[in-house]
Structure 1
Amino acid sequence: MNKKAILYTSLALLLAACGSTSPTSTATPTNTVTPTNTSAAPTSLSARLGLTRTSTLVLPDLDSLKREAGDTSASDVVVSYLELSDVQTLATHLGATLKGVIPELHAALLDLPGTLSGQKVALSMSMGGGRLIARLNGHSGALLPVPAPSQDPAALAAQSVSAANLDTDPLSSKQWWIPQVKADQVRGIATGKGVIVGVVDDDFDRQHEDLKADGKIVAGIDTTDVSTEKILNPGDPLTSGSHGSGSAGTIAERIGNGVGGAGIAPDAVLMPIRIFNPNFTGDFNVAYGIVWAVKHGAQVLNNSWGGGGYSQILKDAVDYALLNNVTVVGSAGNDNSDFQTGLAAFPGTISVGASSGGDLKTDFSTFGPRVDLYAPGDAGLTTEINEALPSPDRESSYNLFGGTSMAGPVVSGGAALVIDKAAQLGLSGKTALTPYQIKRLLTDNGDPMKDPRTPGFKRLNLVNSLNFTASSVPADGGYVLVGVTDLVTGGGIDGSDVILKPLSGQNKGQDYLSQTSYGGYGTNSKGKAGYIFGEDIGLTGVAVFAGIEPGDYEVEVAGPGALGYGDSRTVLSNRITVSAEASSATNPVVLQYQHQIDFNEFTAAGRNGAPASATNLNVYPAGYFATNLLGGTFDNNYNYNGPIPAFPGAPAGTPDQDFYKVTVAAGKTISVSSYASKVGSNAVTKVELVDASGAALPGATSTASSASSQSDYVAKYKATADTTVFLKFSSANNSYGLGSWYGSLFSIQ
């Protein structure tokens, strides 16, 4: 897998200026890690200065958010919030429409007026005062097209004719994939009875003759419009859904009813979660559907779709499902490459590749270490309808399904069988198997693939997977929460990349990737970290790893970055050990880090490095920065796509400097103190007060502080008329990169 491609396909909207030099602090550590089972956060500069951080709603300057020619950014943004009333206030301020809310994720969707830039709105909220964070709503999820078969369908169908345990349904003799995974041999053990499987897809035909039956389908949701809760009832007509119909039938096509064939778990219950309209979806819409399905009883979620890069709202939704004990299955993709997108790449999910009749990887299937398991995905006859047919012919149509779109549902059906068998053993409710245990039963007990392109990988074998007792189920996986806070202000950092690199050979050596989120994870007032959706939530940046393989890991924390900038990959902890016995969803391993970040390095006007792109501090309440640190960092090491200028119009390598603007009324004096070298930074930070051209304001002073002061410099200016004053911060000792951060306080009196 191309690690950077996944990490940087989407925008991380809190923007770092993290370099690559090693920290050499002479006072307190420039970065701190506490790799223990504790939620006690490291001490920030703000706390060491005796300041109490204020959580304040800050609304962006509307004039800076206007959409310019060539700006094609989406008009909808996902907002993470502490209080929903703040989102409503922001929506009124922007003239936006509040389209939908996911209370469990503390997330809302705003539809902006066409005059505003979605990208600028998202960037502007990075400085949101600790109450709101915004990201563009991704729209790259796509249904996986059904590819041409890798093998001749007739030859594949011939493999099933001699199977000993075929049922009497007329098309079962052509369903070669049923006996290959031995689903026909376990029907006396489990059929998935009563297990609810959410089909996250387009819709499926709930009137199809081999899906329709009392109790076979439960109500679902149509998320193509999240402004209203549109329920899909079992008796409702199809909206759109040949693809979803194929997924549904592969999972749970009925058995013994004299029509069609059968599914992997023929007695499982199906829940429609329509996310495509017909081939388009947004990440918020998917997350809405996942959370709805979990709340309404889904035990397995099948996702036969992919596309896009890392999406935090999707990651939050998947974590919500996993921590509510819901198994999440994702199709690996049909790109014939070692690269995965979508939620199949998230920790804790089951990523499924497609095999053909001879246990070879299909020509189209994605491969590589992130694939957990292979399953048949080639010319599978099932209830994939022909939407062009009129009713009732459509409801009796069958077609050849395929791709990892088929392989995923095969495994989802297998998960339903495991849950059914476990319930028969008394493993339900509080003792139910976890998604990780289900994953291990499916992935560890398969038949070896025979393809030289997939050495060490297995294809699903349900006889082996169901051969467990209540005392022989595998141990649960590990649960890790990685919190990252700003070492200056103490605020959580959203969108920081966190990688767990296996050191013991587990997970086929594949890294686990996550990002910190301001979503439903944090630390509550009782010090409890982990699954706390809606429970006394605190805004803090936490990366979640739910249900990962136990073992030794190296932890890497970097970023966050935008468009690949800020590509610092700094190892902040040498090693942690994740033990299944000592780690659980309610008692996770909690790591606390501090990292430097420049919340204001990028503004709506471009990279902050000149007065023209200065951050506007007038949007903050008067006196805010007298008690709340303004933090930043100096960095010239943006090297992901080659060196980039320090600010628009400047050549690469220009010393980094930061500008902020504030209005000082006539007769008032502004006093600014900068804190850096004397409180642990590598930089000596100089602050100057200048005009819009960068020239010093007449009468302004900038003086190095005394040896006994904690500050580096103090700047003052008394305005003779209402004046826009620009605060200029620079590194007086030319120290840049990791460890070269600063904090500042200022007052106007």
Structure 2
Amino acid sequence: MNTTDLVNNDISETDFSGSESYLPSFKELSGRKFNNDELIVGYQNDANLDEILKNFKGATVEKEIPELKAVLLKLDTNVMDVEKAFEILKGKKIEGIRYVEPNYTDREIPVIKSTDSKTQKEMGSSTLNQVEEGYPDYKDKQYALKKIGAESAWEKATGEGVIVGLLDTGTDGTHPDLVDQLVEGYDPYLGVTIDPAIDYDSDGHGTHTAGIIAAKDDGQGVVGLAPDAKIMPIRIFNPGYIGDYAVADGIVWAVDHGADVLSNSWGGGGYSNILKDAFDYALTNDVVVVASSGNDTTDQFWHYPSAFTGVIGVAASDALDEITDFSSRGEYVSVAAPGNNVISSIPVRLAVSDGVVGEPFAYWAGTSMACPYVSALAALIKEEYPDANVYQIRKMIEEGAVDIDEDGYDTSAGYGRISSASLDLNPADYEAGNLVVKAISKRSSNPLPGVFITLESKETSKRYYGKTSNDGTELFAGIEPGDYEIIIGGPEYLYYFAPNYRMEEELSYSGVVEVSNVTTYTQEFETTQFKTDLTTDLSFAGTLTISLLDSYETPIKTFEFTSNAEISIDLLPDIDESGHYYLAYEYVGTIPEEEFGIRGEIQINNESIPVEIPVNQEGTGFIDEYGGLGIPWTIF
């Protein structure tokens, strides 16, 4: 990704082929849901696709998203499934392939639907403002509007001219509060556009979130926080989650068709390369991305998409300005918004079964309800300040928030509960920090992929997480300027593109970096120890030598072993370049009648690895912890 393009908001030539890449380990695959006959492949050049297809007999390219340089492969399950494909890939490194991952299907909608009959009776009481025709006026029941200061906000902006892409279950365009409030949408699973005047909601969730954002202010029903904004429905639940690939396609479609804000009341599961690329595509096109933090209660850092850098993660608060019990916590939380006991629209067809007193409105709870309030506030800011970039809008939302929960920033409420005060701030007061982290080997300056990075702001303790891509870099775009503690570790040996094969070869570093407009931080990885302590416990009549070999198996240094000897060799002084090295032995002579072999340990980075290699015939062999399989030792 081009950092200069991001900083200057010049995205016409932005290349998404350099984004963070990640191949899951088998352990991760076993704990997640995915389509067993599909693989997502991110490439640098489409010519590289032919090479990867050679490895998968019967696989075909089913779909492509050129903007993200990604394709969906269809596997012939009579030949192989996803796990078999990963077994094949684990032993190969294919030039030009950024990532390979399953098409995950384990994202969820964080919502709690109310079925409380007492609440429904209260909604039908005489406290409501009745109208001669149509539905009662429920505005007085919308405590969130009072909390946020909607009346004050509407004096400045109502969302006019702003389009909010709603990634959800679809929306009922026939609902009286939403008629003429929708624009053409998209169903990425079917690849068809959505008529804004029909009911295209598979569940009801998308109609509820749409009403929170943009229900019109007509004196009846509910009113959205941005009543003059338009909703662009992108159906990604039908009713279950349609998969990461189709969702990425929907994101790109929304960006390319005029969305200014993307509202995401869904999430969960683990990391996804293609979703990261898709949301980066939105952010670099100055589309604000908002996502719910989840209803898991727990404090976590892996909830996606809310944990992606640049995304506004939203927690749920209640009428007392307290964070709800169900709201997930984490460093990715930016702000909180009302998300408990929220009344909004539901599809007309569900009025009798699910609605309040038989009307197409319902009280629901969840970070699903909090997220659209923040999306609506972003729409108001976008109308008032059309030239504000995504970082400025995020900071205005955070800086204008009312501090609740713990003093200052905290992982429960972020910077606080949102308010109309954000509209009084000046976007020119906020300049984004952008940090590029590079991980390289000390001896040869080779880029190191698969290195974990944690940033922690010294001012707020807010954290950001990343992992280096194939070129050894990771971009943190649109973060707060200032001093950060940086912790770097890896490369993760299970990562497909990592050069090392052992956890003991991983290294870790920490430091402080001052992030400004564009900052580059380079961390050199240097292996600190590589030595052998070996012995043979029997006399032998032949000649036994131990050699250090380079990656081409050319000897660098050779040592001779004698009977019953112990030998300790410091190998690091003989290594000038980073890369793979082998330890090997050669035995010439008669093999003793008793069991004979080389035993001891290899010490690398102050970690000891036991080795035991049987020598049962003349010839050569490798020395490693796997009995001589020839696994190279990685030196940085």
Same fold (TM over 0.5): yes
Between stretches 191-200 and 93-102, larger displacement belongs to 93-102
For the structure 1 residues 141 and 491, does the alpha-carbon distance in structure 2 shift closer, same or farther, using more than 3 Å as the test?
Answer: farther
Choose which of 224, 228, 234 in structure 1 pairs with 2:196: 234
Q: Answer yes or no: is the 8 Å Cα contact 2:128–2:137 preserved in 1.
A: no
CA distance in 1, matches of 2:141, 2:403: 24
Residue in 2 that maps onto 1:512: 464
Residue in 1 that maps onto 2:582: 685
Residue in 2 that maps onto 1:641: none
CA distance in 2, matches of 1:729, 1:310: 36
Task: Kindly provide the CA deviation profile for residues 539-579 of structure 1, in whole angstroms up to 9, marking residues without a partner as x.
Answer: x3432212111111233142334499849874446222102
Residue in 1 that maps onto 2:513: 576
- For the residue of structure 1 that corresponds to 2:306, the secondary structure is helix
Structure 1 residue 342, shift from structure 2 partner: 1.1
CA distance in 2, matches of 1:73, 1:397: 35
The alignment-based identity, stated in percent, is 30
Choose which of 373, 382, 398 in structure 2 pairs with 1:410: 373
Structure 1 residue 468, shift from structure 2 partner: 2.6
Structure 1 residue 141, shift from structure 2 partner: 1.0
Residue in 2 that maps onto 1:618: none
Residue in 1 that maps onto 2:453: 498
Give the residue type in structure 2 aligned to 1:207: T
CA distance in 2, matches of 1:684, 1:91: 31
User: Is 2:340 the partner of 1:378?
Assistant: yes
CA distance in 2, matches of 1:205, 1:742: 59
Task: Kindly provide the CA deviation profile for residues 416-468 of structure 1, in whole angstroms up to 9, marking residues without a partner as x.
Answer: 01111113xxxxxxxx2122211111112222325799888554343311113
User: Is 2:76 the partner of 1:113?
Assistant: yes
Residue in 2 that maps onto 1:523: none
Give the residue type in structure 2 aligned to 1:218: V
Residue in 1 that maps onto 2:612: none
Give the residue type in structure 2 aligned to 1:550: P
Residue in 2 that maps onto 1:543: 474
Choose which of 513, 516, 520 in structure 2 pairs with 1:590: 520
CA distance in 1, matches of 2:455, 2:122: 41
Give the residue type in structure 2 aligned to 1:436: Y
User: Is 2:396 the partner of 1:441?
Assistant: yes
Task: Kindly provide the CA deviation profile for residues 289-308 of structure 1, in whole angstroms up to 9, marking residues without a partner as x.
Answer: 22222222211111101111
CA distance in 1, matches of 2:34, 2:384: 51
Give the residue type in structure 2 aligned to 1:460: R
Residue in 2 that maps onto 1:101: 64
CA distance in 2, matches of 1:235, 1:241: 17
CA distance in 2, matches of 1:491, 1:563: 17
For the structure 1 residues 149 and 404, does the alpha-carbon distance in structure 2 shift closer, same or farther, using more than 3 Å as the test?
Answer: farther
- For the residue of structure 1 that corresponds to 2:154, the secondary structure is coil
Give the residue type in structure 2 aligned to 1:686: L
Q: Answer yes or no: is the 8 Å Cα contact 2:34–2:102 preserved in 1.
A: no
For the structure 1 residues 455 and 118, does the alpha-carbon distance in structure 2 shift closer, same or farther, using more than 3 Å as the test?
Answer: closer
For the structure 1 residues 484 and 235, does the alpha-carbon distance in structure 2 shift closer, same or farther, using more than 3 Å as the test?
Answer: farther
Choose which of 55, 77, 82 in structure 1 pairs with 2:39: 77
CA distance in 2, matches of 1:398, 1:488: 65
Between stretches 337-346 and 567-576, larger displacement belongs to 567-576
Residue in 2 that maps onto 1:336: 297
Taking the TM superposition and a 5 Å limit, the aligned residue runs for 1:26-37 are none
Choose which of 138, 142, 147 in structure 1 pairs with 2:104: 138
Give the residue type in structure 2 aligned to 1:403: G
Q: Answer yes or no: is the 8 Å Cα contact 1:157–1:175 preserved in 2.
A: no
TM-score by length of 1: 0.61
Structure 1 residue 687, shift from structure 2 partner: 4.6
Q: Structure 2: 5+ residue runs without aligned partners?
A: 1-19, 130-134, 497-501, 533-546, 557-571, 588-618
Residue in 2 that maps onto 1:741: 634
Q: Structure 1: 5+ residue runs without aligned partners?
A: 1-9, 17-66, 424-431, 519-539, 598-632, 637-656, 660-669, 691-724, 744-749
Structure 1 or 2: more strand by fraction = 2
Give the residue type in structure 1 aligned to 2:473: V
Structure 1 residue 683, shift from structure 2 partner: 9.2
For the structure 1 residues 147 and 497, does the alpha-carbon distance in structure 2 shift closer, same or farther, using more than 3 Å as the test?
Answer: farther
Choose which of 401, 420, 428 in structure 2 pairs with 1:463: 420
Q: Answer yes or no: is the 8 Å Cα contact 2:548–2:555 preserved in 1.
A: no
Choose which of 351, 357, 364 in structure 2 pairs with 1:401: 364
For the structure 1 residues 730 and 572, does the alpha-carbon distance in structure 2 shift closer, same or farther, using more than 3 Å as the test?
Answer: same
Give the residue type in structure 2 aligned to 1:103: P
CA distance in 2, matches of 1:15, 1:113: 22
- For the residue of structure 2 that corresponds to 1:345, the secondary structure is coil
Choose which of 226, 232, 255 in structure 2 pairs with 1:265: 226
Q: CA RMSD of the aligned region, Å?
A: 4.6
Residue in 2 that maps onto 1:552: 483
CA distance in 2, matches of 1:563, 1:635: 25
Residue in 2 that maps onto 1:224: 189
Structure 1 residue 473, shift from structure 2 partner: 3.8
Structure 1 residue 359, shift from structure 2 partner: 0.6
For the structure 1 residues 125 and 210, does the alpha-carbon distance in structure 2 shift closer, same or farther, using more than 3 Å as the test?
Answer: same
Taking the TM superposition and a 5 Å limit, the aligned residue runs for 1:678-717 are 678-680=575-577, 685-687=582-584
Q: Answer yes or no: is the 8 Å Cα contact 2:451–2:492 preserved in 1.
A: yes
CA distance in 2, matches of 1:480, 1:263: 37
For the structure 1 residues 455 and 289, does the alpha-carbon distance in structure 2 shift closer, same or farther, using more than 3 Å as the test?
Answer: closer
Choose which of 263, 278, 282 in structure 2 pairs with 1:317: 278
Task: Kindly provide the CA deviation profile for residues 70-120 of structure 1, in whole angstroms up to 9, marking residues without a partner as x.
Answer: x99833221111222432564465312323222222111112111313134
For the structure 1 residues 740 and 574, does the alpha-carbon distance in structure 2 shift closer, same or farther, using more than 3 Å as the test?
Answer: farther
Residue in 1 that maps onto 2:169: 202
Q: Answer yes or no: is the 8 Å Cα contact 2:443–2:577 preserved in 1.
A: no
CA distance in 2, matches of 1:202, 1:399: 16
CA distance in 2, matches of 1:124, 1:726: 28
Residue in 2 that maps onto 1:283: 244
Q: Answer yes or no: is the 8 Å Cα contact 1:480–1:545 preserved in 2.
A: yes
CA distance in 2, matches of 1:319, 1:263: 28
Residue in 2 that maps onto 1:5: none
Choose which of 154, 160, 164 in structure 2 pairs with 1:187: 154
- For the residue of structure 2 that corresponds to 1:128, the secondary structure is coil
TM-score by length of 2: 0.71
Task: Kindly provide the CA deviation profile for residues 501-546 of structure 1, in whole angstroms up to 9, marking residues without a partner as x.
Answer: 33x223xx1321012335xxxxxxxxxxxxxxxxxxxxx3432212
Q: Answer yes or no: is the 8 Å Cα contact 1:332–1:404 preserved in 2.
A: yes
Q: Answer yes or no: is the 8 Å Cα contact 1:354–1:361 preserved in 2.
A: yes
Residue in 2 that maps onto 1:13: 23
CA distance in 2, matches of 1:485, 1:412: 39
For the structure 1 residues 94 and 377, does the alpha-carbon distance in structure 2 shift closer, same or farther, using more than 3 Å as the test?
Answer: same
Larger Rg: 2
For the structure 1 residues 687 and 282, does the alpha-carbon distance in structure 2 shift closer, same or farther, using more than 3 Å as the test?
Answer: farther
For the structure 1 residues 271 and 594, does the alpha-carbon distance in structure 2 shift closer, same or farther, using more than 3 Å as the test?
Answer: farther
Q: Answer yes or no: is the 8 Å Cα contact 1:206–1:237 preserved in 2.
A: yes
Structure 1 residue 366, shift from structure 2 partner: 1.4
Structure 1 residue 497, shift from structure 2 partner: 2.0
CA distance in 2, matches of 1:366, 1:682: 43
Give the residue type in structure 1 aligned to 2:511: N
